[in-house]
Amino acid sequence: MEMIRRPDWRARLAEWLVAEATRPFEYGKSDCALFSAGAVEAMTGIDLAADWRGHYTTLRGGLRVLRRAGYHDHIALTAAHLPEVAPGRAQVGDIAVVDGDDGPSLGVVNGAWVAVRTMSGLGHVPRDRVVRAFRCG
């Protein structure tokens, strides 16, 4: 599956981030994996998480459904669909892996920051916390 960003991807990503700004964290509906997949969908029209959205309610449950599908975790799912780039080469809209309190977390590169899903909505972490990155389109 070839990922190509839509011509108006920047506007779509910005609109999507605004819409997500106050959406609270909830496994299976609004977690880091679905947050990053939502960004990819906004920019490309392809939802990498369509098969899993709404099918789990805990971290353990999310990992279980991904493992049944052949992915070790949400990072492996991302790596299977997007080409990896050096963290320093990640551009706006690319998917970033940052170390979170519960393990690796996915976010979206947004300039000098990475937009991430927090318990209360949208958060930002500095780009120097990026440990892996994936090109979106």
Domain holding 64, by residue range, is 9-134
Q: What is the mean pLDDT of residues 124-136?
A: 96
What pTM did the predictor assign?
Answer: 0.94
CA distances from 26 to 1, 29, 77, 103 (A): 28, 5, 19, 16
Task: Decide if 38 is inside a domain.
Answer: yes
Going by pLDDT thresholds of 50, 70 and 90, the confidence category of residue 3 is: confident
Instruction: Supply the mean pLDDT for the chain.
Output: 94
Residues β-bridged to residue 130:
98
Q: What is the CATH number of the domain that holds 129?
A: 3.90.1720.10
Neighbours of 126 (CB within 10 A): 10
94-104 pLDDT per residue, tens:
999 999 777 89
Does the residue 2 lie in any domain? no
Q: Please give the DSSP secondary-structure letter assigned to residue 135.
A: -
28 in a structural domain: yes
Helix (H, G, I), strand (E, B) or coil at 85: strand
